Amino acid sequence: MHELSLAEAVNNTIKELGRRSAWSRVRRVILKVGRLRQVDPELLSFAFGVVGKGTVTEGSELSVLELPVVFHCRACGCETTGDVTAFACVNCGSADVELLSGMELTIESMEVEDC
Amino acid sequence: MGTVVTIRQAVMAEDEKYAARVREMLTKRKILAVNIIGSPGCGKTTLLERTAACLGRGGSKKFSFRVIEGDIETARDAERLAAAGVEALQINTKGACHLEAHVIENALKSLDCNGLDVLFIENVGNLVCPAEFDLGEDFKVAVSSVPEGADKPLKYPMLFSQAAAVLLTKVDLLPYVRFDKDLFLRDIRALNPKALIMELDLISDAGLESWLAFIAGRLEEKHHVAQ
């Protein structure tokens, strides 16, 4: 259940952002999450609601955009959109690959109410 | 009407700050930090007990180590290690399924780091959540035991794809349980071609020498870089 810790981290990040901004309430949060993060979007949204009680995010909605695992092959230069269970180039089979996407955990944007 | 604002900020930024501080502090003191992750009962604590026993017997590989023990409840693991002559600091997460860097930073305040070569952090028994959190370690070690079954690497890809080494423990049980070792090795290779795989029997200590050599080698590398 790491979703609870992640939800707390999302909420703390938003609270921190709120200190430097002119908005009073958050309506919606768009979160980008890479597939390698092993996050269950439903659990994360639920946990976000729980940790947000009494804070600036109370009542807001968390939308999770899942990003695929993409890696670049250093041997042949191909890009593979793979799954999380094999890190080898689909073109040449090389395992010398560099991850381009899949580990994201980023607050992309928020819909807020101004003060 | 609401306003949409672009944020593009990493969620774990705060956590990563703690991890960076832990890493900096340990690097300054040339201490190698190893985050040990595996299921409950896979042999993480036994590995550390046997590591102490083997180092105590002498031999070519020598390093001092202390342990931070993460468990949801009880001080049993720290007590086991104390009985084996290892200084261990027990952390009870009281329900949390993993350790986080700020906990390690706090623990380091009460851990005697003088003359210390290696800090082993035994994470809470769990293959999912601990893989997610950077503790400021030099690398992660995944521990998987024969009776758990050979399908674990693909079921828990994040841990096995990140680990610098994978320890297959309880290999003395191979004649008695169904375990497709070829599949296990093949799946790890697919996830993480660079991982060092070691087979251990912690009853007879078979394979333990290669584990000690691995840690001693990484410690030497760290000293080299820190100089």
Q: How far is A66 from chain B (nearest CA, A)?
A: 15
- Residue ranges for chain B with pLDDT beneath 50: none
- The mean pLDDT of chain A is 89
Q: How far apart are CA A49 and CA A35, in angstroms?
A: 22
Q: How many Cβ contacts (< 8 angstroms) between chains A and B?
A: 97
Say if CB A36 and CB B158 are below 8 A apart: yes
What percentage of residues in chain A have a pLDDT greater than 90?
54
Say if CB B149 and CB B187 are below 8 A apart: no
Query: pLDDT confidence of A14, banded at 50, 70, 90?
Result: very high
Nearest to B191 among A12, A85, A110 (CB): A85
| Cβ pair A13:B11 closer than 8 A | yes
Q: How far is B203 from chain A (nearest CA, A)?
A: 32
The full set of domains in chain B, from first to last, is 13-221 (3.40.50.300)
Q: What residues of A are in contact with residue B133 (Cβ under 8 Å)?
A: 2, 5
Q: What are the tens digits of pLDDT across the range A51-82?
A: 999 998 999 999 999 999 999 999 999 999 97
Tell whether B94 is within 8 A of chain A (Cβ): no
Nearest to A2 among B2, B128, B193 (CB): B128
Q: How far apart are CA B104 and CA B113, in angstroms?
A: 13
Q: How far apart are CA A10 and CA A4, in angstroms?
A: 10
Which is more confident, A86 or A115? A86
| Cβ pair A9:B15 closer than 8 A | yes
| Cβ pair A16:B14 closer than 8 A | yes
Q: What are the tens digits of pLDDT across the range B129-154?
A: 899 899 999 999 999 999 999 999 99
The full set of domains in chain A, from first to last, is 2-67+102-114 (3.30.2320.50)
ipTM over 0.85: no
pLDDT number for residue B226: 64
